Structure 1
Amino acid sequence: MRNKLEDVDEFLSHRRVALVGASHDDKDFSRMVMRELLDRGYDVVPVNPGGGLIEGRAACAEIGAIEPPVEAAIVMTPPQVTEQIVRACAAAGVQRVWLHRGVGQGAVSAPAVQACQELGIRVIAGECPLMFLPNAGIVHRLHRLAKQIAGSYPARA
Structure 2
Amino acid sequence: MRNKQEDVDEFLSHRRVALVGASRDDKDFSRMVMRELLDRGYEVVPVNPAGGMIEGRAACAEVGAIDPPVEAAIVMTPPQVAEQVVRACAAAGIQRVWLHRGAGQGAVSAPAVQACQELGIRVVAGECPLMFLQNPGFVHRLHRFAKKIAGHYPARA
Could you say which TM-score interval applies, normalised by the shorter chain? over 0.9
In structure 1, the partner of 2:91 is 91
Instruction: Measure the CA separation in 2 of the matches of 1:2 and 1:109.
Output: 14
Report the alpha carbon displacement of residue 69 of structure 1 after superposing the two structures with TM: 0.2
In structure 1, the partner of 2:109 is 109
Q: List aligned pairs for 1:24-39, cutoff 5 A.
A: 24-39=24-39
Report the alpha carbon displacement of residue 155 of structure 1 after superposing the two structures with TM: 1.0
Instruction: Measure the CA separation in 1 of the matches of 2:64 and 2:131.
Output: 28
In structure 1, the partner of 2:79 is 79
Report the alpha carbon displacement of residue 117 of structure 1 after superposing the two structures with TM: 0.2
Q: List aligned pairs for 1:118-129, cutoff 5 A.
A: 118-129=118-129
Instruction: Measure the CA separation in 2 of the matches of 1:135 and 1:57.
Output: 25
TM-score calculated relative to the size of structure 1: 1.00
In structure 1, the partner of 2:134 is 134
Instruction: Measure the CA separation in 2 of the matches of 1:34 and 1:111.
Output: 26
Q: Structure 1, unaligned stretches of length 5 or more? A: none
Q: Secondary structure at the match of 1:130?
A: helix
- Deviating 4+ runs (over 6 angstroms): none
Q: Percent identity?
A: 89
Report the alpha carbon displacement of residue 17 of structure 1 after superposing the two structures with TM: 0.1
Instruction: Measure the CA separation in 2 of the matches of 1:13 and 1:152.
Output: 22
Report the alpha carbon displacement of residue 84 of structure 1 after superposing the two structures with TM: 0.2
Report the alpha carbon displacement of residue 21 of structure 1 after superposing the two structures with TM: 0.1
1:51-80 Cα shifts (integer Å, max 9, x gaps): 000000000000000000000000000000
Aligned residues: 157
1:69 equivalent in alignment to 2:49: no
Q: Structure 2, unaligned stretches of length 5 or more? A: none
In structure 1, the partner of 2:150 is 150
1:48 equivalent in alignment to 2:44: no
Q: Secondary structure at the match of 1:99?
A: strand
